[in-house]
Structure 1
């Protein structure tokens, strides 16, 4: 690590961006893809900084680039929760230390942008002296995004093909492990939801279909009439819009909702016609006479085609109208569980042209745009990113021999730290969380002081020191140890925990190493936990003399990129450790240049 320059300089004429793509294991085959993502994120952020953008602007655009890459565990392509839904966490912290975060939020393409909106909202006073929130979670965060004009997408729009396949495999592995545990009676285990009892997803869908058909048959044999509603269309249903049309369909009477739809679809209310036994008899006679029936016989005929046929047949799409006259499309997907959202999506006419395009996994009936997908066996092509001259020096020589055959195992946070031309520092983080997590689980990327933290410079400090830290790793352990806060404050004061718990003055390299080894790995909660204590930290210290990058991790690898305004391209590196919990660390010094006198 380079030492500080003796040339003092008032900061403000140089800007810089630092990003990381998560701690974990980055396979050698996919190393180029991870570094390319970091490279593109740094270049996009630097373009913003060089055009007068703030540090918060740069952090947002950098993380948005990483969220849009399927190779990272943030935004699109994130790990799925136990019921097959993508829930993300994100946080933004400005140079004052103010933060805006969202946790376990679904249906948002770029959670970091929503975190930025929450941060901006905290600076605006509310009526009656109410306190604006700096953290929103779950459905409340999605509703807030819609109110602020952000796009709310279908659930499957954020599910990549690789993430879907991982979820199917993990679900089968989980059920297999639970069955073995029940058979051995070694210890009680927490069972998965009842909908995931079958190991085979195809068989699971067949069982679900059979249960629905049996329920319909039992209702018909019992001669049950729902609310005694006649089979003729009600006045409200006469004005229903036909699917795909904006004008009332006056040529033909609307088809009443089938019995299974009425029993299962919450969008069908009591003002719409529900078929009874009488309508079933009329429909049967109409079928025998060759005319069009008023209800689908597939709801009562056991020999009819199945709604689901594993993953071999196409998705079936039902459409109709809500009670308010708006159209809906209820698609049933065998890959992910479709959950109704209380938040409606913005009208298509109000969306930008790019957002009107069909989304992956959404059965719109039109060709979708080509999207690069990462297969489970992983690609072997390297991204066109030649290594920087100084990258080879930061690579450990004794890399494991089996690294080229292992697959990616990155389930952690992506992050960024930026310093703008005004001398302000900001940071942010985003993550899709761990795979098969409980719905509503909040990860470190949503928590200030855990996933991201800023120590602002004090007004009386002549050195103008400020520190920003973003972390990645085991979220529950980082929350217990307040990883980002501890790392930032230790680096700000150049202190480490020494003998008998006393703080000792050391240089910055020892601060990072000590923080990981003593404050994190040596914490009692981590030592007495059944979960592994994995962590990666990226810290940036800004002073009058320059900007200094420090990073460290105890995972197999850590993907990073850095760039300042006097460079033509980012410097990317894949830091790898020797394994067995060894700490790998490094850094970079960006000195300010002395201005020429005219």
Structure 2
């Protein structure tokens, strides 16, 4: 007893007291339930030369996430870890290596949703290498009570997200620490194109909003912007304190006018400074950039700045003086030659063909048709992917809980502060929780990738999740009719998404990865109208992930597929490993 008391005194009065554990130990999953993980690396065009790299990234993300699940981690832990692996890969447009905004800064979006539908998200956050981890911290904070009954936020953007990261002790990286060499080269090339387009638009007399290019913010300008923001806050506090010290309980009209005048002066000063900071190049010349413009036509030049979805529904929108006629997907090798692959995907670890559900039918007769595949294509200096969209993951842990996460670096040369679908819950990621009274215990999770502005208008992830949950599709007259999950997914892409795109000036692309879990099993459904869609899946009875690169026939045709997993573990037998069936 005395020894324990002495030990306690040492702990209490020592210089290095023991810190209590910050996380409780988790129990292992139930032995009869399986865990599963599903990831995708974005929809767009994955070149054949880089296909293995994309699938390796998906496979590694699934493998690491499965290690988390097998060791008692939750679905949230696994989804976060899978997306973090993808964020750390330069080949993906998330985290490190993301597309650069107009001012050359990486601004990322991310969100994460748990099995109750609770979410945390960050948008346009900079100087953070793994935005999905910051979104997880936002989710954790939503479960904490704030003083004065304030409602904790579940979405933070821009400087507010960075301030929150600092409060949480998240590592803050320098601006260039998350910029990859390839992203820097793309930004310089696209900026050169924008400069040329700016001069032409100015000569044509177009409105400045159509062509102006924002300047790169210097450290002095950033400091000036922060100073003005602090000055505004200080003036607000001083005005409030002056009002409280006023002798009169009811201020006169002159007091109001003087106070508003002071605030107006501050507002005018802030406005003037911000306008000065955001002034674009007015007299730029061709010698300002050492990198010359790539030889592209005007249409493909504009498309590169928006995102890969502007080149969809097919890669055949590229044009050049060489004519190549083919019905497959075209890949340009490093030596400039064209390669026409077959429809089957390259196998990494174990191949997965989507259970033969690929579809060859057209997406919609009323949607905007792309350039025909027999038209001219341009050649590129090097093999280049056109995948600038969201990565995502869906996980199911041993207790049957589902979670999903999404992350993206956004479109190239975007406006500063642009928030993409990865940060919008219900657009880039969505969960339909289990109803307590449902005997089938059905829940659905979806993650999407594609043209963020169109997906936000159509609430793509939410609509898809609801249709799969109810197993319905929208029929004639807007009535809902019973349908299989494949039919429901196809209807969402073909009618509800592409039906909205036809009223827009920009092309629309989408890739959907959806999971429907019941008491009997877990069903994976995917569909996309882009040239390709990289995926991987794995459950706890498998030794390795199953990876697939789904490729469509082009021309905006919708490719679909799926996979079925049972929910109960197999009983171990003495059969050889070669006798095991990879599919449930």
Q: TM-score, normalised by structure 1?
A: 0.65
Q: Decide which of 506, 511, 514 is 2:491's aligned counterpart.
A: 514
Query: What SS does the corresponding residue of 1:550 show, helix, strand or coil?
Result: strand
Give the corresponding residue for 2:36: 16
Query: Following TM superposition, by how much is the alpha carbon of 1:386 offset from its aligned partner in structure 2, in angstroms?
Result: 3.6
- Residues of 2 paired with 1:126 and 1:119: CA distance? 14
**In proportion to residue count, which structure has more helix?**
2
Partners of 1:478 and 1:24 lie apart in 2 by: 15
**Counterpart of 2:409?**
432
CA distance in 2, matches of 1:447, 1:55: 20
Local SS of the residue matching 2:104: coil
1:394, CA displacement in angstroms? 5.5
Distance 1:441 1:263 in 2: 20
Which residue, 121, 137, 142 being the options, matches 1:117? 137
Cα separation, partners in 2 of 1:47 and 1:140, compared to 1, 3 Å:
same
Counting only pairs closer than 5 Å after superposition, residues 194-213 of structure 1 correspond to structure 2 as: 195=215
Contact 2:406 2:428 in 1 (8 A): yes
Q: What's the counterpart of residue 590 of structure 1? A: 565
Q: Does 1:66 align with 2:43?
A: no
1:559 is aligned to: 534
Corresponding residue for residue 127 of structure 1: 147
Residues 1:45 and 2:65 are matched in the alignment: yes
Pairing 1:388–2:363 present: no
Segments of 5+ residues of structure 2 without an aligned counterpart are: 1-29, 228-287, 292-332, 338-345, 361-372, 573-584
Cα separation, partners in 2 of 1:593 and 1:396, compared to 1, 3 Å: closer
Structure 1 residues 33 and 389: alpha-carbon distance in aligned structure 2, compared to 1, 3 A threshold = closer
Alignment of 1:146-185 (within 5 A): 146-185=166-205
Q: Is the 8 A contact 1:27 1:404 kept in 2?
A: no
The residue aligned with 1:495 is 472
Residue equivalent to 1:91:
111
Deviation, structure 1 residue 519? 1.1
| Matches of 1:475 and 1:441, distance apart in 2 | 11
User: Which ranges of structure 1 fall in alignment gaps of 5 or more residues?
Assistant: 1-9, 197-204, 209-260, 270-308, 313-375
Deviation at 1:186, TM superposition (A): 6.7
Verify the 8 A CA contact 1:93 1:453 in the aligned structure 2.
Answer: yes
Task: For residue 175 of structure 1, report the CA deviation from its aligned partner.
Answer: 1.3
C-alpha distance in 2, partners of 1:121/1:100? Answer: 9
Distance 2:41 2:405 in 1: 12
Give the conservation status (yes or no) of the 8 Å contact 2:351–2:547.
Answer: no
Task: Verify the 8 A CA contact 1:28 1:403 in the aligned structure 2.
Answer: no
| 8 Å contact from structure 1 (residues 395, 574) kept in 2 | no
Q: By how many angstroms is 1:531 displaced?
A: 1.2
In structure 2, relative to structure 1, the CA distance for the partners of 1:488 and 1:386 (3 Å cut) is closer
| Residue number among 101, 105, 125 corresponding to 1:105 in the alignment | 125
Aligned-partner Cα distance in 2 for 1:18–1:379 = 35
In 2: Cα distance, 1:444 partner to 1:190 partner: 23
Whether the 8 Å contact between 1:29 and 1:379 is mirrored in structure 2 is no
In structure 1, the residue matched to 2:396 is: 419
Tell me, in whole angstroms, the C-alpha distance in 2 between the residues paired with 1:521 and 1:419.
Answer: 30
Question: How does 1:160-559 map onto structure 2 within 5 Å?
Answer: 160-185=180-205, 190-193=210-213, 195=215, 386=348, 388-391=350-353, 407-523=384-500, 526-559=501-534
CA contact (8 A) 1:457 1:465 kept: yes
| Distance in 2 of aligned mates of 1:145 and 1:175 | 35
Q: Distance in 2 between matches of 1:595 and 1:170?
A: 53
Cα distance change of structure 1 residues 560 and 595 upon mapping to structure 2, 3 Å threshold: closer
Q: Is the 8 A contact 2:33 2:569 kept in 1?
A: no
Q: What is the Cα deviation at residue 581 of structure 1?
A: 1.0
Q: CA RMSD in A?
A: 3.3
Secondary structure of 1:88's counterpart equals strand
CA distance in 2, matches of 1:456, 1:97: 6
TM-superposed deviation, 1:180: 2.0
Larger radius of gyration: 1
Residue 11 of structure 1 contacts residue 592 of structure 1 at CA under 8 Å; is this kept in 2?
Answer: no
Assess, with a 3 A threshold, how the Cα gap between structure 1 residues 265 and 556 changes in structure 2: closer, same or farther.
closer
In the superposition, the TM-score normalised over structure 2's length comes to 0.66
* Counterparts of 2:386 and 2:505, CA distance in 1: 19
Deviation at 1:193, TM superposition (A): 3.7
* Alignment check: 8 A CA contact 1:12 1:420 kept: no
